[in-house]
Amino acid sequence: MLSATVPVDASSRQKVRGNVRRIFSGLGLVLGGKAGAGLISLAYLFLATRFLGPEEYGVLVLVHAYVTTVCGVIEFPAWQAIVRYGAEAAADDDRHRLGRLLRFGAVLELSAGLLAIASAFVLVPYVGPHLGWPPKAMAFAPFYALAVLGSVRSTPAGYLQLLGRFDLLGVHNLVQPVVRLGGCLLVIAMGWGLKSFLVVWMLAAVLEFAVMWAMGLWLAARELGPALRRPDAGRVTQENAGVWRFMLATNADVTLSEFAGRAAPLIVGWVLGPAAAGLLAVAQRATVIIAQPAQILGNTAYAELAHIVAAGQGGRPLRRTLMRVVSIALLATVPVVLVVLAFPAFIVHLLAGSRFDAAAAPMVLLVLARAVALVAPACSSALAALGQPSRSVMANLFASLVFLGALPLLLERYGLMGAAYQALGQAILASGLLVMLVWRSSLRH
């Protein structure tokens, strides 16, 4: 008996190591682009903050946060369904089913994107005055609704993940920061103002949309051919059991998990004004070093976890893979956290200049919050791969209701530090709930 079980356990460990290698291989390819994007974003932050100052930079942040928040509530990203059900279609070598699924996801996502643009356009006169936008920002903000397109690109991104083309996802990460940096240099050289920065930020979002869809369509046309252009007759909802329920749950999860981060600058601007929102944006910038790899890790892990579950290995192999992925990610974060804790004032001064020094104290708590929240994207991906995204929804909804509802009171009592307390508390609660839920769900699988 003992000799029979050893090879099985060794094979299981080898499979887990292979899963982890594939996840981090994809992560490495995407992070290659993100590393370059991060350096470029620091360059345009350095220029924009010094040229605009806290007040006008805060307005720029608030206009963009307003559009992304509206988009986050209304958008209908399809990437998780593309990866999960696409993995099943790929396993069966059913190109026509995959073609129908891609067309279905594209129609849903683009329709929701148009609705988000219209909503952001219409609501500007009602929201802008409460956020302290000056007349020039109010005049252009309705047109800035086109920046919604920057987030309407999950269907082609999901297909790229399904194919393992993380190299192209890494290249795409450079589009927005390159456009912003080039535009920022032009605006400063010409002596233009806030409105020109808004135009540049909007163009960067539109190009994000265009480049991702161009890459996705090119690959899909090459790989699927007629199965994409004219797939055989079939009903997506019948051949992908529970796809509507799955998409509604995963979209609710994405909305709730990201809503707090998107809405927090708006609440800060509403309560404390644009300058405070600008300070918060600079404080959050240092945390992007942790936040972006965490989200990318969740996305790249999801494709591999979906394949594990599709192969009937959603129990111990999934838990082992998840534990290793999260442990490695947490260890890699420790040096970043230590540097921020040791030199917060220096980092803020280097990023944005002396006028933003008040962002140093909130930045310390925000980077701790991001470190705690590092486990959340991978756990949410595991729950989605197990076909139980509603559990992730519940965890994120509960954490958001508890702490986002308290944010106005925290701001009134503690000023800008209240936003940092809110972020840390929500990260602790949401991450703890997600770890517990994914562990229980995998044990039952």
Higher pLDDT, 397 or 201: 201
pLDDT (0 to 100) of residue 51 = 94
Q: What is the mean pLDDT of the chain?
A: 84
Q: pLDDT grade, residue 182 (50/70/90)?
A: very high
Residue 189 has pLDDT above 80, yes or no: yes
Residue 228 lies in a domain: yes
Residue 368 lies in a domain: yes
pLDDT (0 to 100) of residue 42 = 85
Q: pLDDT grade, residue 265 (50/70/90)?
A: very high
Distance (Å, rounded) from C-alpha 418 to C-alpha 49?
A: 23
**How far is CA 323 from each of CA 20, 426, 441, rounded to the nearest angstrom?**
10, 22, 15
Residue 2 lies in a domain: no
pLDDT (0 to 100) of residue 445 = 59
Q: What is the domain count for the chain? A: 1
Structure tokens at 371: 């470190």
Distance (Å, rounded) from C-alpha 79 to C-alpha 84?
A: 9
Residue 8 lies in a domain: no
What value does the mean pLDDT take over residues 29-46? Answer: 71
For residue 337, the enclosing domain spans: 13-444
Residue owning tokens 């991906």: 381
Residue 245 lies in a domain: yes
Contact 264, 407 (CB under 8 A): yes
Residue 339 lies in a domain: yes
Residue 11 has pLDDT above 60, yes or no: no
Residue 6 lies in a domain: no
Residue 5 lies in a domain: no
- This prediction has a pTM of 0.81
